[in-house]
Structure 1
């Protein structure tokens, strides 16, 4: 079958082996699969390995159609049923991450295998491209829950790429905020406004750390002067860029007792001054992916129309358009999410 995969030179399209479902797995036809920022990072890492680079069929954000059950399945999904899934299957050697492993193909292929026990049925009326947003939206659900939002808290979202925008969408869908969003890209700031961000700033022109007073945030006393629990109305900040130096900038700029949730995938060593965070009693939480219940909740947000899914999909390509789509995502800021239609 023809699929899109990593190569020593970037992304290629060509023939790959047909997947065969193992125990408890089903054969599926991916209908729509999103290109994620982590796909771009993975391609860079694979390219750096040169000729020793493994071939990985990408695509971990997907909506698929059941083709046929494999051995040891219950048959609870009829052929033709549309599904989404946490992108993992259980192989004989352990879990396999679909879209990140050379063992089994991800969603940038006409056929793949998925674990029956992890499948969720896509409700009627939810389009394929929008159902494929379940995975990145689940990342945002997990990040928001990790922030432990309280009534009256202000949310600061640094970076309006796909994950930052998903965080904004979840915050607004669940009634948290107000939300301050910041990004250098005018196109992405426009999407943040569409998704309901209350204040949208260009960090080249305005500091997000100067917006607190008008949003009702007051500097809390240091811990020794507090009597009892910290009252609501504090700041929860979501670092959705992974940019070098941003953590220290947040620690320095946020008011006392703020909560920082690190969602952006920084890949270089980071330096912070612990005493700066200690004196402010800032909490720092790193999050990875989501829980299965959060994945299901994300699907429910999309199916219930509580998230403006149309704001995310800015391009659709077939398999032959995948290499160009990767170039487009690297070269410009107008795209949020490009969806691949494998068939």
Structure 2
């Protein structure tokens, strides 16, 4: 079958063997699969990812001398059922799944992270194998393109859930790439307003408005932290007034800042700009060494929370958010390619004015 293959540090269009479903697995046809920032990170920093995973105590490891097929943001169609399956969903059913395949070997279970496995292909291939027990049928006639956004939208929803928001909070989203946009979509569902978002890119700022941000800023022109302070400060509040110092009278609303950029220096910038007692949720994945001055966080008593991925329950709920129209992901899909176009798409995604999310359609 055809696939976009990560081979010897490069992306090539070629053919690989079709996967065979093991016990409890189904064979599926990949209908659409989004290109994720994690795919870009792996393409450029695969050795660093392996090293960081090892040093952090993770079992995650890729054999970079072997072929690997990326792709973990997918919508697929059931083709066939493997041994010992219930066949609850018939062939032809469109499905999504948490991108993990579990292979049982006696009493042992081997977990394959789809899109980062040397054993099983991810969604940049024409076919994959998925575990039947993890399949979610695409509901309400949801378009395939939007169903393929379940995984990245679940990342944003997980971050929002981890923030433990209250109705009094005012959220600030730094960075409006796909991760930031997913966070904005989650904040809109939570009903916490005003949602303030900041990005240097005009195209991304426009998408932020589309996804539900109430106030969108160019940080090159306006400080998002000053705007947050303006929005959070109630009428009559005077920080030098003795009543304010005693915690009496009008109070500034609490702040929650979502770091959705993932490049060195951003955390320090946020520590410097954040209001006192703010909660900072780090969603962006920085693949470089970074540093910050703890004194800023200590002096302001800031809460720094790092998040990753999502739970199966959050993934399933996100699919329903899309199907029920609580999230409209259509504006995020800015391009589609076949396997031959994947390498160029990785380059094109570097231009935020041109693309937000490119889908791979391996059969086209």
Give TM-score scaled by structure 1 length. Answer: 0.93
Specify which of 276, 300, 303 is matched with residue 280 of structure 1: 300
- In the alignment, what sits opposite 2:355? 335
| 1:30-59 residue CA offsets vs partner (Å, 9 max, x unmatched) | 11100001101111134899x954311111
Residue in structure 2 matched with residue 152 of structure 1 by the alignment = 168
Does structure 2 retain, via aligned residues, the 8 Å contact 1:57–1:99? yes
Match of 1:59 in 2: 71
- Correspondence 1:37-186 to 2 at 5 A: 37-46=37-46, 53-91=65-103, 92=105, 94-186=110-202
Question: Which residue matches 1:191?
Answer: 207
Alpha-carbon distance change, 220 to 46 in structure 1, aligned in 2, over 3 angstroms: farther
Which deviations, in whole Å up to 9, do the C-alpha atoms of 1:120-161 show, x marking residues without a partner? 110132111100000000001100011111102111111111
**RMSD of aligned Cα (Å):** 2.3
Distance 2:22 2:246 in 1: 58
The answer to whether the Cα contact below 8 Å between 2:33 and 2:361 also exists between their aligned partners in 1 is yes
CA contact 1:188–1:334 (8 Å) conserved in 2 = no
Corresponding residue SS for 1:267: coil
Distance in 2 separating the partners of 1:329 and 1:106: 20
Deviation at 1:281, TM superposition (A): 1.2
Q: Is the 8 A contact 1:150 1:232 kept in 2?
A: no
**How far, CA to CA, are the matches of 1:52 and 1:308 in structure 2?**
37
Assess, with a 3 A threshold, how the Cα gap between structure 1 residues 220 and 110 changes in structure 2: closer, same or farther: farther
For 1:259-338, list aligned pairs within 5 A: 259-338=279-358
The residue aligned with 2:55 is none
Q: Does 1:253 align with 2:235?
A: no
Following the alignment from structure 2 to structure 1, what is the Cα–Cα distance between the partners of residues 246 and 279?
Answer: 17
- Kindly tell me the number of residue pairs found equivalent between the two proteins: 338
Whole-angstrom distance in 2 between the partners of 1:226 and 1:148: 26
Deviation at 1:331, TM superposition (A): 4.3
* Unmatched segments (≥5 aa) in structure 2: 51-62, 240-244
1: CA distance, partners of 2:146 / 2:263: 28
> Is there any run of 5+ residues in structure 1 with no aligned partner, and where?
none
Check 1:36–1:220 CA distance in 2 against 1; reply closer, same or farther (3 A cut).
farther
Give the drift of 1:333. 3.4
- Offset of residue 100 of structure 1: 0.7
